[in-house]
C-alpha cells in the first residue's frame, strides 16, 4: 500500500465529529473530501462500503482513539455527491463510488491521451485503455471499470466518442 500523508486535521479529535457551525462544517467536509480522494487514489480504490468503513485507517485514527461514525461518513459522501466526487452504488446508500477526479476530468484525460496518440477516428478496446501497454504511465491505467465506463459516457454525451460493443468486447471510437 502507498504511503499516506495525513493532514494535520487527522490528528485533531474534533475532525472525527461533524461540526454544528455551518462555516466550520463546510471546511471540515471539504477537508474530508480531499482526504478521502487522496487516500483512495494512493490505495488505488474507487469504492467505500459504509458498513465496513470504520475498520479502515481512513476513518479510524487509532493513535488518537477517534473513529468517524457511519452517519458522519454518509454525510461526507452525500456532500461529495453534490460536488460530483461520489455516487451511491446501491439504493440503501451503503456502497459509494468515489472519484478522486470528477468523471469529466477522467474523460478529458482519456480523450487527451487518445488525441495525443493519434486515436481519433480509431476504435480502442476498453481493455487497451484500462490495461494496455500504451497507458501504463497514465493516471487512468487500472481505473475501476465502472468509473472508466462512466467517464467514457460523459465524453460520449459531449460527442467526443462513441461506446460500442463487438463480439465479447467493449470498445470506444474517439472523434
Summarize pLDDT for 135-161 with one digit per residue, the tens. Answer: 999 989 988 898 999 999 999 999 999
SS3 of 40-84: HHHHCCCEEECCCHHHCCCCEECCCCEECCHHHHHHHHHHHHHCC
Task: List, for residues 116-137, the tens digit of each pLDDT value.
Answer: 999 999 889 899 999 989 899 9
pTM to 2 decimal places: 0.80
Please answer whether residues 86 and 94 qualify as being in contact, where contact means their C-beta atoms are separated by less than 8 angstroms.
no
Confidence of residue 165 (pLDDT cuts 50, 70, 90): confident
**Same-domain status, 113 and 65:** no
pLDDT of residue 10: 95
Q: How many domains does the chain have?
A: 2
Does 153 map to a domain? yes
Same domain, 26 and 60: yes
94 and 113 belong to one structural domain? no
- Residue 114: closest CA among 51, 157, 174: 174
The CATH number for 34's domain is 1.10.10.570
121 and 71, same domain (yes or no) = no
Is 90 among the domain residues?
yes
Say if residue 110 is in the same domain as residue 91.
no
Q: Do 94 and 108 reside in the same domain of the chain?
A: no
Residue 92 sits in the same domain as residue 124: no
Neighbours of 56 (CB within 10 A): 16
pLDDT at 1: 45
Which of 40, 65, 98 delimits the end of a domain?
Answer: 98
Tens digit of each residue's pLDDT (9 = 90 or more) over 76-124: 999 999 988 999 999 999 999 999 888 888 999 999 999 999 999 988 9
Q: Write out the residue range of the structural domain in which residue 93 sits.
A: 8-98
Question: Is residue 16 pLDDT above 60, yes or no?
Answer: yes
Which pLDDT score is estimated for 58? 95
Amino acid at each position: 500500500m502507498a504511503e499516506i500523508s495525513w493532514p494535520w486535521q487527522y490528528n485533531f479529535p474534533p475532525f472525527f465529529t461533524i461540526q454544528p457551525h455551518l462555516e466550520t462544517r463546510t471546511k471540515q467536509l471539504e477537508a474530508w473530501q480531499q482526504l478521502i480522494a487522496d487516500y483512495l487514489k494512493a490505495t488505488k480504490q474507487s469504492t467505500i462500503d459504509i458498513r465496513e468503513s470504520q475498520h479502515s485507517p481512513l476513518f479510524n485514527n487509532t493513535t488518537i482513539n477517534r473513529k468517524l461514525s457511519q452517519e458522519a461518513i454518509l454525510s461526507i459522501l452525500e456532500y461529495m455527491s453534490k460536488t460530483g466526487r461520489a455516487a451511491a452504488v446501491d439504493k440503501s446508500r451503503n456502497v459509494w463510488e468515489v472519484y478522486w477526479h470528477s468523471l469529466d476530468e477522467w474523460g478529458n484525460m482519456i480523450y487527451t491521451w487518445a488525441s495525443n496518440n493519434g486515436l481519433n477516428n480509431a476504435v480502442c478496446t476498453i481493455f487497451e485503455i484500462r490495461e494496455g501497454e500504451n497507458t501504463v504511465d497514465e493516471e487512468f491505467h487500472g481505473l475501476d471499470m465502472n468509473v472508466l465506463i462512466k467517464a467514457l459516457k460523459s465524453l460520449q454525451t459531449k460527442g467526443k466518442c462513441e461506446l460500442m460493443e463487438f463480439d465479447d468486447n467493449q470498445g470506444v471510437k474517439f472523434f
